[in-house]
Structure 1
Amino acid sequence: MTTPLPCPCCGVALRHIESLARSFQPPRTYHEWHHVEDNGCWLRKRVGKIILTTTDDEVEQAETIAAWNRRSNPEAPGAPMGVATHRHKKRGTEYAMIGIGKMQSEHWIDPHGGALLDSVDMDEVALYRSVDDGSLWARPRYEFEDGRFEALPAAREMVECHKSDTPERVCFYEQDFYVLSNFSAFTIMWEWTKLVGLVRFDTSEAVYHFMKFKANVPTAQQFQLMERIRRAPSAHEAFKLAERNKHLRRPDWDKVKVDVMRDILRAKAAQHEYVHRKLLATGDRELVEDSWRDDFWGWGPNRDGKNMLGKLWMEIRAELRNQQS
């Protein structure tokens, strides 16, 4: 039995599962790995840092063993070999969904034809297996969910549900205090530069990601990215733009991000009477950003996160009450 390889980023032991082929331009081969401790799924290019710790023969041998184990072991991740969960609408081919992973890559792309490069690092990818020949495939998650695939009955057992959601129902009517979310549709007037003055942002989420790149003297790339974030068609797209360009962040961001968020929330409450009123209507109750993903701004998957967004809102609530007294 071989010793699991260490992850070059965090040191956690990794278990090699099977190679994943995908038709990129130029073609590339990725490998699927799992953190041994949490079974988190990751992808890395064949020429990536992890593969270089083994010989080509060892990699090929591991692939052969893993492929055989997957076909003979019913406990392998994902649906059994013969159970199709999704069908490609155009081609009619059927696949068994394995799950959602994250791409690890140092490859940079230029999707808009401009000078700014976007990274695919940490983008979510759908992992799925052909029920015909067992080949594994990886595709950007947004492409897998954009309508080109249709879910089959077996997919119902793999649906991720939160709160009141069920495999048959998605609840999209937000809770009473959704106004406190950074994704809620309340515009913010925020300073672009001293010379330009205030400009309009669609959400406080967009302002937050904008500020990640607003250094004392921003570079041309940072300016271009800041404008793209401001004009992003949704808060989610603003988030994705920021995530793909982490290399351009201002160097002091981790030190100032809480103070920046506090100022953004103050502006939101000051510029929208409804937000101001709803915040005070929470009384003395604890405010929680009940995100199941974010354990810094929210309470995270185990409900033991820092909940910094909730704490900042409670701080601002106290400020507003003091102003009234």
Structure 2
Amino acid sequence: MPIYFYVEREKPYGCFSNFSAHGFMLDELYWPTSEHYFQAQKFVGTPFLEKIRQAKQPKEAANLGRDRSLPLRLDWNQVKDGVMYRAVLQKFQTHADIRAILLSTGEELLVENSPIDNYWGCGKDGSGKNRLGQTLMEVRKILQQQSP
């Protein structure tokens, strides 16, 4: 039975959202959410990285990161999946409570039920790539191997 998630306020799987307030240290900086980290990585080596990192809310970080008037790094399409994987892995390695929720899903299919995102989510008609769900399942497999 697939597990669908989307909004960070939904219990118990809202913690799978990149907007959930589960901060972590990565690249020697503290990130309030995985959304902050992901969006900021589009601008490594520029002042925009820090502006996004300091955004008050994940929605603000997302809007800044999606601003195409800013100079997006040239290799973004090649590295974005790896960036997401690093952020999600660090988030769930940092927080035991949400790690337990992720591990409790066993082998179930995880689907980001985003009606507006056909890449990270399943999209409006369910035919999207669901890359965030796939990333969570990859991280779950790593965490299952690390569990005693």
TM-score by length of 2: 0.89
Q: Tell me which of the two structures has the higher relative contact order, counting C-alpha pairs closer than 8 angstroms and 6 or more residues apart.
A: 2
Closer, same or farther in 2 for the Cα pair 1:245/1:225, shift >3 Å?
Answer: farther
**Which of 76, 86, 92 in structure 2 is aligned with 1:263?**
86
TM superposition shift of 1:318:
1.1
Gaps of 5+ in 2: 1-7
Give the match's secondary structure for 2:30.
strand
The Cα offsets for residues 15-34 of structure 1, whole Å up to 9 and x where unpaired, read as xxxxxxxxxxxxxxxxxxxx
Gaps of 5+ in 1: 1-171, 192-197
Q: Residues of 1 paired with 2:123 and 2:64: CA distance?
A: 22
TM superposition shift of 1:173:
5.0
Q: Residues of 1 paired with 2:140 and 2:65: CA distance?
A: 29
- Which residue number corresponds to residue 187 of structure 1? 23
Q: How many residues align?
A: 141
Give the match's secondary structure for 1:248.
coil
- Which residue number corresponds to residue 276 of structure 1? 99
Give the match's secondary structure for 1:249.
coil
- Which residue number corresponds to residue 5 of structure 2? none
TM superposition shift of 1:316:
1.2
| Larger Rg over CA atoms | 1
Q: Residues of 2 paired with 1:246 and 1:280: CA distance?
A: 40
Q: Residues of 1 paired with 2:56 and 2:147: CA distance?
A: 37
- Aligned CA RMSD, in angstroms, stands at 1.6
- Which residue number corresponds to residue 58 of structure 2? 235
- Which residue number corresponds to residue 121 of structure 2? 298
Q: Are positions 1:207 and 2:37 aligned together?
A: yes
TM superposition shift of 1:256:
0.6
Closer, same or farther in 2 for the Cα pair 1:229/1:173, shift >3 Å?
Answer: closer
Looking at secondary structure, tell me which structure has more helix per residue: 2
Q: Are positions 1:176 and 2:6 aligned together?
A: no
Q: Which runs of 4+ in 1 moved over 6 A?
A: none
Matches of residues 234-253 of structure 1 in structure 2 within 5 Å?
A: 234-245=57-68, 247-253=70-76
Identity of aligned residues (%): 35
Closer, same or farther in 2 for the Cα pair 1:199/1:291, shift >3 Å?
Answer: same
Q: Residues of 2 paired with 1:227 and 1:310: CA distance?
A: 27
The Cα offsets for residues 6-61 of structure 1, whole Å up to 9 and x where unpaired, read as xxxxxxxxxxxxxxxxxxxxxxxxxxxxxxxxxxxxxxxxxxxxxxxxxxxxxxxx
Give the match's secondary structure for 2:92.
helix
Give the match's secondary structure for 1:244.
coil
Q: Residues of 2 paired with 1:173 and 1:287: CA distance?
A: 17
Give the match's secondary structure for 1:189.
strand
Matches of residues 7-26 of structure 1 in structure 2 within 5 Å?
A: none
Q: For residue 42 of structure 2, what is the amino acid of its counterpart? A: K
TM superposition shift of 1:300:
0.4
The Cα offsets for residues 271-306 of structure 1, whole Å up to 9 and x where unpaired, read as 111121111011111100011110100000111100
TM-score by length of 1: 0.42
**Which of 77, 84, 92 in structure 2 is aligned with 1:254?**
77
Give the match's secondary structure for 1:200.
strand
TM superposition shift of 1:188:
1.7
Q: Residues of 2 paired with 1:246 and 1:320: CA distance?
A: 38
